[in-house]
Amino acid sequence: MPIPTDTNLPQSGSTGGVQADGTLVQREILRSLAKGISLYRLTYISQGLQVKGYLAVPDSAMPVPGLIYCRGGIRKVGMVRKRRIFSMARRGYAVFAPFYRGNEGGEGREDFGGEDRFDVHHAITLMQSLPEVQSGPIPLIGFSRGALMALLAAKECEGAGPVVVWGGVSDLLDTYEERVDLRRMLKRVVGHPRKQAECYERRSPVCWVDAIRVPVMIVHGTADAQVSVEQARKLGAALEQAGKEYTMELYDGLGHRFPKEDDERALDAVFGWIASKRERAEGRER
Q: Which residues are catalytic?
A: 144, 256
- Listed in sequence order, the DSSP H helices in the chain are 82-89, 118-129, 146-156, 172-178, 183-189, 197-202, 229-241, 260-285
Assess contact for 195 and 187: CB atoms under 8 A: no
Assess contact for 149 and 142: CB atoms under 8 A: yes
| H or E element, residue 140 | strand 138-143
Return the amino acid letter for 281.
Answer: A
CA angle 251, 97, 156 (to 5 degrees): 85
Distance between CA 100 and CA 141 in Å, rounded?
15
Cα–Cα distances in Å, from 264 out to 63, 86, 236, 254, 270? 24, 12, 23, 13, 10
Phi first, then psi, for residue 154 (nearest 5°) are: -65, -30
- DSSP letter, residue 73: S
